[in-house]
């Protein structure tokens, strides 16, 4: 059973691991309890492990970094919480081997999300740990689905002019150069299909009574921005991937490009300058840079 301490730290730690899939001890500390000593986070994780709620794999690199994930029991407990409504457990919860094999990509996604959370804290914006939602399932028909590495919710701060701030949403794709540039670029067409996908009406529904609207509109007032974060390759490899995205953009419906900002940056730029800096290249205009927050929907 999860202990309810004064700050709900155990519950938050479990919820964060449920949603983020995997995180190192240091990442968990920054997400859950950045104002206390890291030893307290280590003790909390050890306690949750002793209760059978979380487990870990240890990376062989220097320092033997510990990476944490939910057990099947922890996933069962967390799935009952209202803040995780609609959450789908990862295979890592029932298979430590799967966790070990996915650790590289999972930690790259966690590192990306952590950059957004820390950037929001620094600038007075709102991006809580549970505003980062990996692997949200979006059907596009025929048994296929678009599953971004993460869905980001982010509220920008109010301005001195009285603006109450803006709620921003983004689909995040973290690319570690484990697939060719063309396969990465093919993801653009999948998102374009999601943008136009209208589900077939349920059997027995009269055609004139069926509401014909794109499925994404049930969840988002605007289609989320699409952000690519590139890592695992040098400058030449980054250029090749951005130009592959640019070439793919020329093959998809112009309506999608007009309505959805699509930008790319590197993990190096993200960590050095922060996500809100003008480090993002629009895939339709490689070489130019902009802020993902200020690239507006038309």
**CA distances for 77 relative to 53, 70, 129, 234, angstroms:** 8, 10, 19, 42
Would you give the DSSP letter of residue 129? G
The sign one gets for the Cα dihedral 240, 246, 247, 252 is: positive
Domain assignment present for 109: no
Q: 3-class SS at 200?
A: coil
Burial class (CB in 10 A: 0-12, 13-18, 19+), 53: buried
Which residues constitute the domain of residue 244?
Answer: 136-282
Same domain, 160 and 251: yes
Q: Is the pLDDT of residue 111 over 80?
A: yes
**Alpha-carbon distance 140 to 142, whole Å?**
7
Spacing of C-alpha 58 from chain mean position: 23
Domain assignment present for 124: no
Same domain, 94 and 208: no
Domain assignment present for 29: yes
Domain assignment present for 117: no
Same domain, 98 and 195: no
Same domain, 141 and 278: yes
Spacing of C-alpha 70 from chain mean position: 18
Same domain, 98 and 197: no
Same domain, 176 and 238: yes
**Alpha-carbon distance 88 to 268, whole Å?**
30
Backbone phi, psi, residue 57, to 5°: -120, 150
Same domain, 56 and 157: no
Mean pLDDT, rounded, for 217-232: 94
Paired sense of beta strands 281-282 and 262-266, if any: antiparallel
Same domain, 95 and 172: no
- Bridge partners of residue 10, in order along the sequence: none
Mean pLDDT, rounded, for 66-84: 90
Which of these three, 103, 126, 146, is where a domain ends? Answer: 103
Q: Is the pLDDT of residue 1 over 80?
A: no
Same domain, 152 and 71: no
Same domain, 141 and 71: no
Q: 3-class SS at 217?
A: helix
pLDDT per residue over 141-189, tens digit each?
Answer: 989 999 999 999 999 875 544 455 689 999 999 999 888 888 888 899 9
Q: Is the pLDDT higher at 226 or at 294? A: 226
- Kindly report the CATH number assigned to the domain that includes residue 30: 1.10.10.10
pLDDT per residue over 130-148, tens digit each?
Answer: 999 999 999 999 899 999 9
pLDDT given for residue 94 in this prediction: 57
**Residue environment code for 174-183, b if the CB has 16+ CB neighbours within 10 A, otherwise e:** bbebeeebee
pLDDT per residue over 230-255, tens digit each?
Answer: 998 889 999 999 999 999 999 998 99
CB neighbour list of residue 111: distance below 8 Å, 6 or more residues apart: 27, 267, 271
Mean pLDDT, rounded, for 190-214: 77
- Kindly report the CATH number assigned to the domain that includes residue 270: 3.40.91
Q: Is the pLDDT of residue 192 over 50?
A: yes
Same domain, 49 and 172: no
pLDDT per residue over 261-287, tens digit each?
Answer: 999 999 999 999 999 999 999 999 988
Q: How many domains does the chain have?
A: 2
Q: 3-class SS at 55?
A: strand
Structure tokens that stand for 233 in this block: 């390759």
Domain assignment present for 129: no
Same domain, 201 and 274: yes
Domain assignment present for 218: yes
Mean pLDDT, rounded, for 181-204: 87
Helix axes 9-20, 25-32, angle to 10 degrees: 120
Domain assignment present for 127: no
Domain assignment present for 276: yes
Spacing of C-alpha 151 from chain mean position: 4
């Amino acid at each position: 059973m999860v202990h309810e301490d004064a700050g709900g730290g155990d519950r938050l730690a479990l919820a964060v691991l449920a949603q983020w899939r995997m995180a190192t001890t240091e990442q968990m500390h920054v997400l859950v309890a950045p104002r206390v000593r890291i030893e307290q986070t280590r003790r909390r994780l050890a306690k949750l492990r002793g209760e059978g709620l979380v487990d870990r794999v240890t990376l062989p690199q220097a320092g033997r970094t510990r990476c944490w994930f939910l057990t099947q029991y922890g996933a069962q407990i967390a799935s009952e919480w209202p803040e995780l409504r609609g959450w789908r457990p990862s295979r890592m919860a029932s298979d430590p081997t799967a966790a070990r094999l996915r650790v590289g990509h999972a930690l790259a996604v966690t590192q990306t999300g952590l950059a957004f959370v820390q950037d929001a804290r620094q600038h007075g914006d709102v991006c809580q740990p549970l505003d980062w939602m990996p692997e949200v399932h979006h059907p596009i028909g025929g048994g296929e689905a678009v599953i971004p590495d993460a869905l980001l919710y982010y509220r920008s701060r109010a301005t001195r002019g009285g603006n109450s701030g803006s709620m921003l949403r983004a689909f995040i794709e973290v690319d570690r150069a484990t697939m060719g540039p063309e396969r990465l670029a093919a993801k653009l067409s999948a998102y374009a299909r999601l943008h136009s996908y209208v589900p077939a009406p349920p059997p027995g529904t009269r055609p004139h009574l069926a509401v014909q609207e794109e499925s994404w509109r049930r969840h988002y007032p605007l289609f989320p921005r699409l952000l690519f974060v590139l890592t695992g390759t040098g400058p030449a490899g980054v250029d090749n991937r951005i130009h592959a995205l640019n070439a793919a953009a020329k093959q998809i419906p112009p309506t999608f490009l007009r309505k959805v900002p699509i930008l790319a940056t590197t993990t190096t730029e993200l960590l050095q300058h922060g996500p809100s800096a003008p480090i993002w290249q629009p895939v339709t205009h490689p070489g130019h840079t902009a802020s993902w927050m200020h690239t507006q929907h038309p």
